[in-house]
Structure 1
Amino acid sequence: MDRRNFLQATTLAALAQAAGMARAQNDWPQKPLRLVVPFTPGGGTDATSRLIAERLTVLERWTVVIDNKPGAAGNIGLDAVAKAAPDGYTIGMGQTSNLTINPWLYPKMPFDALKDFTPIAEVAAQPVVLAVRADSPLRTLTDFVKAAKARPGQFSIAQAGSGTVGHLAGEMLARRAGLQVLQVPYKGAGPAMTDLLGGQIGLYFGSSVSVMPQLSGGKARALAVTSAQRLPALPDVPTVAEQGFPDFEATTWVGLVGPAGLPADVVARLNAAVVKVVARKEVQDKLALEGSVPVTGTPQQFDAYIRAEHAKWGALIRDAGIKLD
């Protein structure tokens, strides 16, 4: 084969390969998707992930398989996503803790939260609720701040564990209000709520999911929510920001991420599908039942939000000297 024919053959082969790759991407997905959930079955992140997976299966006719990989506050599951092939067939449900808090608490992380993932779409956010027993004399956040300032060090706030958003929300409030309070970490939301209702502790900063049943049952009362706006499920409960602390916001959020280098067209298709799912009334109704607020946007907006949250929590953790027990 002379040089001219060789170049023509090489060019044709390259064009055929490019066309084949484009066709393969346009036909994506051609096999089931694996959605890694970095927490155990039955929790809030797992429930939201299964809701999204089920609706993607119905609306897009994709097969989405849930793969629970708990451990190390979500680090193990997200590490599996970071190390997966960037072909769109392995995605993960990222969260506040594993993407923006853990990097500042763990001396050694298995991944770089800002470099090893492709943000796809935020899904939902859950504010933290400051709750007391129904018979508590504290009826507003202002009541608590005044009482805590009058009796420094005599108030304790339960939270579901060191490094949780509830823990950090309590630290943020204490610093903003100039309070001396004792943070009491529990091994989960259940024990914390049990001690609140039993009178062993006076206040609990917990996720809306863990607090809603007791609020609905009249056993607990909410003093404030930590979202930027009031929670639709608790319209009569003012935000922390409304009660004298402008711009105060602390939420647990979840959103889909993939490995770094995910093809842009795959990211766009996943984002569009998730936005469509979250916009469905039945999905929003289910999220509202657990105190979650649906959140959607572009991959670029989600990326910017992750980076902002990473910086915010990092500054608080450094300034407060927070360490894992």
Structure 2
Amino acid sequence: MKKRSAVVLSAVMAVAAVPAFAQNYPVRPVRLIVTVPPGGAADLVARVMAQKLGDALGQTFVVDNRAGGGGQIAADTVAKAAPDGYTTLLASITTHGIGPHIYAKLPYDPVKDFAPVCLYATMPMIVVANAQLPVKNVPELIALAKAKPNSISFASSGSGGAPHLVGELFKNVTGAQIQHVPYKGSAPGAADVAGGQVQLMFDAIAPHLPHLKSGRTKVLAAISPARLPIAPDAPTMTELGFGKVAASIWYGMLVPAGTPKALIAKLNAESNKALALSDVKERLSGAGIDTAGGSPDDYAKFIRDELAKWGPVVKASGAKLD
């Protein structure tokens, strides 16, 4: 609580210190570009934060869903936008964690082309399967996938997204031969896992909660560092000996490099105040999303650490995408 209060206090002080030209910002609508279609966790975080930022700053924050290319389309749009504070990105582990290492070539530099504003949220990931899949755990899943190559399909939120990339890591690290089936967002993929059209998904918890509660799907393992309250009996991938398959989905705001620091400070301050609100915490936690927050420097270090972590993991796995 004290840490959160300190963050909010520093955010308020930052607003008080911004130059006069930033006091009137924004004077027109601001775009928050999202890398995935409407629906799902990223879109929820974007819409919750856009509403709060708009209310606080007196201008509409428009959520602009630009799916495709594993987030490259959205990220490149922001990287090449004017650094005036009116085009922002909801970045993720896909655009600024795994993606830069797994893609042969990106149209943007994940560090040089952006300026961090604030880390918004994090989400643990799971290996989730259709309840009728005849395996009780990950070792049995791997054994079945090797015994019957490509008989098991895994859904993703789209080619190049975190669920796809983590699935590719799983394949390369474990040797499991499973087929990728991309969907337009996590929600339809989760629905088809529950329905049995595909058998598996590597994803955040949120889209799968109703299917887990109904008994149509089951958690085989936690991909995140710790076991999860929703499935306390499911071991982590690290416990199973596959520590290279470990990830948490995260989201945060970035702006184009060169954006005035005063505007970044203002966006950061209002973002932290929004993240501290009880209704924001409740709405996101209900979807399995943990709020974050902090300074632009905190977020910059977080991204550097993510890039440093995923580089050797991806290299060792051998996973690559065009």
Work out the CA distance in 2 between the residues paired with 1:180 and 1:162.
19
Select which of 265, 278, 282 maps to 2:279. Answer: 282
**Superposition pairs of residues 197-276 of structure 1, within 5 angstroms:** 197-231=194-228, 234=231, 237-246=234-243, 248-276=245-273
Q: Name the structure 2 match of 1:138.
A: 135
- Partner secondary structure for residue 83 of structure 2: coil
What is the correspondence of 1:15-164 to structure 2 with a 5 Å cutoff?
22-25=19-22, 27-38=23-34, 39-58=36-55, 60-73=56-69, 74-104=71-101, 106-145=103-142, 151=147, 153=149, 156-160=152-156, 161-164=158-161
Distance (whole Å) between structure 1 residues aligned to residue 171 and residue 257 of structure 2: 37
Q: Which runs of 5+ in 2 are unaligned?
A: 1-17
Letter in 2 for 1:168: L
Residue number among 316, 319, 322 corresponding to 2:320 in the alignment = 322
Counterpart contact for 2:155–2:198, Cα < 8 Å: no
Deviations 1:118-155 (A, max 9, x none): 01111112333211222444333354356667x37466
CA contact (8 A) 1:155 1:202 kept: no
Equivalent pair of 2:102/2:321 in contact (CA under 8 Å):
yes
Residue 19 of structure 2: SS of its match in structure 1? helix
Query: Does the aligned pair in 2 maintain the 1:148–1:155 contact within 8 Å?
Result: yes
Q: Cα deviation per residue 1:261-292 (whole Å; 9 max; x = unaligned)? A: 22333323322321221222221221122222
Partner of 2:122: helix, strand, or coil?
Answer: strand
**Is contact 1:118–1:259 with CA below 8 Å preserved after alignment?**
yes
TM-score (norm 2): 0.78
**How many residues are treated as equivalent by the alignment?**
300
Q: 1:175 to 1:110 in 2, by over 3 A?
A: closer
Q: Secondary structure, in 3 states, of the residue corresponding to 1:241? A: coil
Structure number with greater Rg is 1
| 1:308 Cα deviation after fit | 2.9
Tell me by how many angstroms 1:293 deviates: 2.0
**Residue identity in the other structure for 1:99:** H
SS in 1 for 2:43: helix
Q: More relative contact order in 1 or in 2 (CA 8 Å, sep 6+)?
A: 2
State the 1:50 CA deviation: 1.0
CA deviations on 1:72-103 (whole Å, 9 max, x unpaired) are 33333333322333233332211222333444
1:220 positional shift: 0.7
Task: Specify the alignment match of 1:7 in structure 2.
Answer: none
| Residue type at the aligned position of 1:261 | G
SS in 2 for 1:111: coil
Mapped partners of 1:89, 1:198: distance in 2: 42
Q: Distance in 2 between matches of 1:106 and 1:240?
A: 24
| 1:28 CA displacement | 4.2
Name 2:307's counterpart in structure 1: 310
Secondary structure of 1:228's partner? coil
Using the alignment, how far apart are the partners of 1:290 and 1:236 within structure 2?
21
Shift of 1:219: 0.9
The letter for the 1-side match of 2:61 is: V
- Give the secondary structure class of the aligned counterpart of 1:31: coil
Structure 1 residue 221: deviation in Å? Answer: 1.0
Against the structure 1 CA distance between its residues 247 and 265, is the aligned structure 2 distance closer, same or farther, given a 3 Å change threshold? farther
Deviation, 1:309, is 2.5
Q: Hey, what's the Cα distance between the residues in 2 that align with 1:309 and 1:33?
A: 31
| Contact kept in structure 2, 1:44 and 1:209, CA below 8 Å | yes
- Asked if 1 retains the 8 angstrom alpha-carbon contact of 2:120 and 2:291, the reply is yes
Residues in 2 aligned to 1:65 and 1:95: alpha-carbon distance in whole angstroms: 19
Q: SS of the counterpart of 2:176?
A: coil
Report the Cα distance in structure 2 between the residues aligned to 1:200 and 1:294, rounded to whole angstroms.
33
Q: CA RMSD in A?
A: 3.1
> What are structure 1's unaligned runs of at least 5 residues?
1-20
Q: Are the aligned partners of 2:32 and 2:50 in contact in 1 as well (CA < 8 Å)?
A: no
- Alignment CA distance shift 1:121-1:102 (3 Å): same
Q: 2:48 touches 2:280 (CA, 8 Å); kept in 1?
A: yes
- Residue type matched to 1:54 in 2? Q
Question: Separation in 2 of the partners of 1:282 and 1:103?
Answer: 34
- The verdict on how the C-alpha distance between 1:255 and 1:233 changes in structure 2, with shifts beyond 3 A counting, is farther
Partner Cα separation in structure 1 for residue 145 and residue 137 of structure 2: 13
Q: Closer, same or farther in 2 for the Cα pair 1:115/1:54, shift >3 Å?
A: same
Distance 1:162-1:122 versus aligned 2 partners, 3 A rule = same
Equivalent pair of 2:104/2:321 in contact (CA under 8 Å): no
Q: What does 1:155-174 align with in structure 2 at a 5 Å threshold?
A: 156-160=152-156, 161-174=158-171
What is the percentage of aligned positions where both structures have the same residue? 31
